[in-house]
Each structure stands twice: as C-alpha cells, then as structure tokens.
Amino acid sequence: MSNIHAQAATEGIALDAAADIIRHGNRFLVVGCSGGGKSTLSRKIADRFGLSYISIDRDILWLPGWVQRERGAQRRIIETLIAGDRWIMDGTNPSTFDIRLPRSDLVIWMRMPRYLCVWGILSRWVRNHGRTRPDMAPGCREKMDFDFFRFVWTFEKRFAWRIVEGLERHGRDTPLLVVKSRRDMRDLLDLLGARA
C-alpha cells in the first residue's frame, strides 16, 4: 500500500461530514478494538435513526458456551444480513470486508487509545460478571482471560494493519470516519442528536 493511501485510510473524513452521511445514509459499519465503544455507538445510532442493529459477536460469530460458528456459516449469515436496506453493523473481522464494505455508506473506525480499550473491557467485565451482556450471543457469559487481555493490549500493533489493508483493498470508495477519543464519540452523537 502506498503511503498516501495508508494515510488516507487512517485519517478519514471530518465529524460533520460523517454525521451528514449518517443522517442521509442507510448502512454503516463500525470497527475497532474490543472495549473501544463500537457497541455503544452502534446502538445509539441505530436507536436514533431506526436502523437494524447487527452485532457480529451476538448475531454471527458466537454460539452458546463461547463456541465459534464455522466460517462458511458466518459468511452466509453476513451475506443475508447485509442484503437488508437499513442497518448498522458492529464488528471488525477484516476477512469479510470484501462483502461488507461495498454495501456500507460509511465506515466508523473506533480507534481509541489502548488504555481506553483496556478500561472498556475491564469495566464491562465487572458490570456483567456472571451474566451475558446484550451485545453477546446467548449462553456466552462475560469472561476475562489473559489471551483476550493480550489481544486488546496488542491490537494496534498486531491487528490494525489488517483493517488498513482491508479498507484499502475493499473500501477505497467508502467514506471513513476515525474516532480517536471519547470526546470525538460524544461530539458525533451530539451532531446526530443521539446522545442520551
């Protein structure tokens, strides 16, 4: 990937331009590290604009007891869900960008600092300990283990390049908003009248 394209893929458009796309668009993809606020932002936008809220964790990836659904089945479910007219999908998985990005009016990358993502997963674990949170598949009680913590801790270094590469390969014509702070998130929700 050229440096120019890499820079464009990580800077994105302005908040007000993204808010305008959300007001007039129909299909949105929210990606980023666990604990970064993808589900919170997606639900608020879905509620504000009457969109179907699709969670990759809840609706596609996981079966009860933290069993991963087979990849072919995941892809078939995604193909069915993205055929819908109005939705917002929360979940990263760059291996399906080839089918999701062409259907998206806007990609929102929740590219929060590592400490915020770590705080997000730890506070979520405390809040939901022993229960299944609303954005997770039934029978997947909230858990915390070293592998998941390490995944979040090293996400930017080990996995962000896959998002950049996927955006470059499959989403050159799809506008991108990069949300880098809680303030960015609040400002976007304020612009949309969705902060409650």
Q: What is the DSSP letter of 56?
A: I
Tokens 């479910």 map to which residue? 77
The C-alpha atoms of residue 194 and residue 43 are separated, in whole angstroms, by 10
Contact 119, 126 (CB under 8 A): no
SS3 142: strand
- Model confidence over 64-118: pLDDT tens digits? 999 999 999 999 999 999 999 999 999 999 999 999 999 999 999 999 999 999 9
CATH of 3-190, one of 3.40.250.10, 3.40.640.10, 2.60.40.10, 3.40.50.300: 3.40.50.300
Q: Which amino acid is at 129?
A: H
User: Rounded to two decimals, what is the model's pTM?
Assistant: 0.93
Q: Residue 33: name the closest of 183, 179, 139, 177 by CA.
A: 179
Angle between helices 15-24 and 38-49 (to 10 degrees): 50
pLDDT at position 195, please? 72
Contact 116, 35 (CB under 8 A): yes
Contact 1, 165 (CB under 8 A): yes
Q: Residue 167: name the closest of 158, 175, 179, 159 by CA.
A: 175
Give the Cβ contact number of residue 57 at 10 Å: 17
List the domain boundaries for the chain.
3-190
- Model confidence over 29-67: pLDDT tens digits? 999 999 999 999 999 999 999 999 999 999 999 999 999
pLDDT at position 9, please? 54
Give exposure, 68-80, as e/b (b: 16+ Cβ within 10 Å).
eeeeeebbebbee
pLDDT at position 134, please? 86
The C-alpha atoms of residue 3 and residue 14 are separated, in whole angstroms, by 20
Contact 128, 35 (CB under 8 A): no
